Amino acid sequence: MTTAGRQMADMTTKVTISLHRDVDTNEWFVDKLEAVRGNMRSLNSFFVPVPLRNAFVADFASFLLMRLPKDIGLSVTGFERHALADSALVLMRIRIIAQRAFAGIQSVVIRIAEARGDLLDLFLVTQRMDMLALASGAPAELQDRSTDPDSARPDTSGTDSLPPNATDGEAGDP
């Protein structure tokens, strides 16, 4: 293995999940998940916060719900490891940091020092962008584009599209 290959293999993925709780309903919502590996950052956020049970797979949602704070004060708790059922994903050195509730909202940050495996395994299929084609019932030829780089280009044959050199304002103009 090359030096660059060893460095990539040694890099760990660090994860930060931002949640908040509506104190009146006691419902937890997911705001965003950020993953950092080396010099790359990936951010998955929701335009409208999603209830925790509707964002994450049942195993991870249950793990969090059992460990999130029950009161509305400051707290920090830690866990060494959680392996997801039905997945190769393992989360290590997990810290749950809760802020004091303010104006009926309590914010929580979950920091995972090391994640090994596919982070997308945390999300329900309905929340995964890579599974959008499958969830929407798209034809099979649109579902797997991993082997043919040209297949990433949309097929516009038989559809109304702009002439090759036109902009939106010039469509159909001579």
Using alpha carbons only, what angle is made at residue 134 by residues 130 and 135, rounded to the nearest 5 degrees? Answer: 95
pLDDT of residue 68: 96
pLDDT of residue 136: 54
Distance between CA atoms of residues 22 and 124, nearest Å: 22
Answer yes or no: are the C-beta atoms of 23 and 111 closer than 8 Å: no
pLDDT of residue 6: 44
pLDDT of residue 129: 55
Q: Find, among 121, 39, 109, 30, the residue nearest to 83 by Cα.
A: 121
pLDDT of residue 87: 82
pLDDT of residue 138: 52
pLDDT of residue 8: 45
Phi-psi group of 86: left, alpha or beta (phi > 0 → left; psi -120 to 50 → alpha; rest → beta)? left
pLDDT of residue 47: 87
Sheet of 105-116: strand order equals: 40-51, 27-37, 13-22, 105-116, 90-98, 75-83
Tokens describing residue 60: 């991870």
DSSP 1-42: --HHHHHHHH--EEEEEEEEEETTTTEEEEEEEEEEETTEEE
Q: What is the pLDDT along the chain (174 residues), one digit of tens a residue?
A: 444 444 444 568 999 999 999 999 999 999 999 999 988 998 888 888 899 999 999 999 999 999 999 999 999 999 999 998 878 889 999 999 999 999 999 999 999 999 998 888 888 766 655 545 554 555 544 444 444 444 444 444 444 444 444 444 444 444
Q: Provide the 10 A C-beta neighbour count for residue 146.
A: 8
